[in-house]
């Protein structure tokens, strides 16, 4: 108890100084928390993708088309369970600068490949039966305030209609959620048959096939078998796991992980300098007191642990505050950025990792002053001004 009291007294002897150190630590851990959460959300599609899901695209590039009949041929490959296909529609609602995450899909097979998608049975039935039906992820539905039964015009910046109409009229048939991959709740899904009948070009062509395997142990061999099937054909393919495909896509935007690491490392380097030096100074000011404590019989190791406790307490307190505020901030920001939603949240891994860094910071910044205080000789301590 006495030890704790001494630590508390030491920290509160110059309140402003302790407060400023806490602010510096708080800032660094706030940045760590916020940026790591952003990075995590950015890569969420890689980790969330089901392990038994594969993606087949044109070998030249995934924007190149594949013939729709490839789906039937892939279905015959041993180890393939369910196959679906999709085409990027380039859709937007009213503002061409704000794209929708919209695909033309075949509903029944789509739901088979993505079994985690949840929609009310009557909505599901409506989407499966009505030609102009649209299934909308609940986040996008909330964003545009769309309700089941609404009729909405959507334009495409890629496809035009044979009948010359500028907009495509859709009936919102279903609003769905996907607890496994919440990013999917941003999608807008039109029916492929509707797409295929109306377009002036691109008929019977799809952007990608998505399929599940009967076991993820078969992924490699199935992928090879699928690509071999279309080798030397008009449209050769590349098949990869959905996770790997998503990783390559995310990497195209830039090396976000590297940027996050550099910024966080910079912030940590700055507080290491600030807190480390301030602690050295603060212990130096107490030289005489430490001499007195030693005269009273306090052992060197006790003094060492007291100073380490002080630096640890400071680091952990600052880190906790920083991480908690970061958790609140990312939750608010995540709700307001389309495409992120609740993938942007403080995970236990990031939180515990932050506390780990805090302990390390506390030990490193406390090490030099604690060591020199332990080694301090009474005569020197009492003699120093």
DSSP at 342: G
Spatial CB neighbours of 242, under 8 Å, sequence gap ≥ 6: 49, 50, 53, 54, 55, 210
Identify which range of 5-13, 105-113, 247-255, 343-351 contacts other proteins by CB under 8 A. 247-255
SS3 37: helix
Residue whose CB is less far from other proteins, 117 or 350: 350
Stretch that binds other proteins, among 103-111, 234-242, 295-303, 333-341 (CB under 8 A): 234-242
Kindly tell me which of 27 and 116 has the beta carbon lying closer to other proteins. 27
Q: Does 271 help bind other proteins (rule: CB under 8 A)?
A: yes
Nearer to other proteins among residue 142 and residue 235 (C-beta): 235
Segment contacting other proteins (CB under 8 A): 40-48, 70-78, 141-149, 276-284?
Answer: 276-284
Structure tokens at 179: 């607890």
96 lines the binding site for other proteins (CB under 8 A): yes
CB of 365 to other proteins, least distance (A): 11
Helix (H) / strand (E) element for 82: namely strand 80-88
Q: Write down the residue that tokens 């307190």 correspond to.
A: 317
Q: Does 324 participate in binding other proteins (rule CB under 8 A)?
A: no
Q: Does 23 bind other proteins (CB under 8 A)?
A: yes
**140-159: which residues touch other proteins (CB under 8 A)?**
155, 157-158
Q: Is 161 in the site for other proteins (CB under 8 A)?
A: no
Least Å from the CB of residue 79 to other proteins: 24
Q: Is 338 in the site for other proteins (CB under 8 A)?
A: no
Which residue number, 18 or 109, has a Cβ lying nearer to other proteins?
18
Of 117-125, 190-198, 265-273, 341-349, the window that binds other proteins (rule: CB under 8 A) is: 265-273
267 binds other proteins per the rule CB under 8 A: yes
In the complex with other proteins, the residue whose CB is nearer, 59 or 75, is 59
Residues 134, 160: contact at Cβ < 8 Å?
Answer: no
Stretch that binds other proteins, among 220-228, 255-263, 292-300, 349-357 (CB under 8 A): 255-263
Of 4, 165, 251, 378, the residue at the interface with other proteins (CB under 8 A) is: 251
Among 108, 263, 360, 378, binds other proteins (CB under 8 A): 263
How many Cβ atoms sit within 10 Å of the Cβ of residue 173?
26
Q: Binding to other proteins by residue 333, rule CB under 8 A?
A: no
Cβ atoms of 117 and 178 within 8 Å: the answer is yes
Alpha helices in the chain (DSSP H): 2-12, 15-42, 44-48, 70-75, 107-113, 121-129, 138-144, 192-198, 219-229, 242-253, 256-285, 287-295, 300-336, 348-375, 378-383
Least separation in angstroms between CB 31 and other proteins: 6
Structure tokens at 383: 């003699």
| Selected binder of other proteins within 4, 51, 64, 228 (CB under 8 A) | 64
Return the axis-axis angle of helices 348-375 and 15-42, rounded to nearest 10°. Answer: 150
247 scored as a contact of other proteins (CB under 8 A) = yes
Tell which residue, 66, 49, 59, 53, has the closest CA to residue 208: 66
Q: Measure the CA–CA gap between 254 and 250, rounded to whole angstroms.
A: 7
* Count, residues near other proteins per rule CB under 8 A: 48
Interacting residue with other proteins among 51, 78, 270, 360 (CB under 8 A): 270
Closest among 45, 288, 285, 352 to 181, alpha carbons compared: 45
Q: Which of residues 75-94 bind other proteins (CB under 8 A)?
A: 90
Query: Rounded to whole angstroms, what are the CA distances from 84 to 101, 120, 326?
Result: 18, 21, 40
Residue-wise over 313-344: b if at least 16 C-beta within 10 A, else e? bbbbbbbbbbbbbbbeebeeebeeeeebbebb
Give contact residues for other proteins (rule: CB under 8 A).
16-17, 20-21, 23-24, 26-28, 30-31, 59-61, 63-64, 90, 96-97, 155, 157-158, 232, 234-236, 238, 247-248, 251-255, 262-263, 266-267, 269-271, 273-274, 276-278, 280-281
């Amino acid at each position: 108890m006495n030890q704790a009291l001494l630590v508390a007294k030491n920290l509160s002897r110059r309140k402003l100084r302790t407060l400023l150190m806490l602010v510096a630590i708080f800032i660094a851990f706030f940045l760590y928390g916020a940026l790591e959460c952003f990075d995590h959300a950015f890569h969420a599609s890689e980790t969330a993708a089901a392990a038994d899901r594969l993606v087949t695209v044109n070998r030249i590039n995934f924007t190149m088309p594949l013939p729709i009949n490839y789906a039937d041929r892939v279905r015959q490959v041993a180890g393939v369970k369910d196959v679906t296909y999709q085409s990027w529609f380039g859709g937007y609602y009213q503002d061409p600068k704000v794209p929708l995450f919209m695909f033309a899909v075949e509903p029944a097979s789509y739901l088979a490949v993505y079994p985690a998608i949840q929609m009310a049975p009557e909505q599901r039935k409506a989407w499966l039966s009505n030609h102009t039906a649209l299934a909308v992820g609940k986040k996008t539905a909330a964003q545009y305030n769309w309700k089941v039964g609404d009729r909405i015009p959507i334009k495409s910046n890629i496809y035009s209609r044979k009948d010359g109409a500028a907009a495509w009229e859709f009936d919102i048939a279903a609003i769905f959620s996907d607890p496994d991959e919440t990013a999917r709740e941003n999608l807008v899904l039109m029916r492929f048959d509707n797409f295929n009948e109306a377009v002036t070009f691109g008929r019977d062509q799809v952007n990608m096939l998505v399929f599940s395997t009967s076991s993820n142990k078969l992924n490699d061999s199935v992928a090879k078998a699928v690509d071999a099937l279309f080798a030397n054909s008009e449209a050769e393919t590349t098949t990869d796991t959905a996770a790997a495909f998503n990783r390559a896509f995310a990497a195209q935007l830039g090396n976000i992980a590297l940027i996050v690491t550099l910024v966080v490392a910079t912030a940590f380097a700055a507080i290491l300098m600030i807190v480390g030096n301030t602690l050295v100074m603060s212990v130096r000011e107490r030289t005489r007191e430490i001499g007195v404590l030693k005269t009273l019989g306090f052992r060197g190791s006790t003094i060492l642990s007291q100073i380490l406790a002080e630096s640890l307490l400071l680091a952990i307190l600052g880190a906790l505050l920083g991480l908690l505020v970061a958790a609140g901030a990312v939750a608010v920001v995540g709700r307001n950025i389309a495409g992120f939603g609740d993938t942007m949240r403080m995970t236990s891994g990031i939180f515990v990792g932050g506390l780990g860094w805090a302990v390390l910071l506390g030990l490193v910044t406390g090490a030099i002053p604690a060591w020199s205080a332990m080694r301090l000789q009474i005569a020197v301590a009492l003699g120093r001004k």
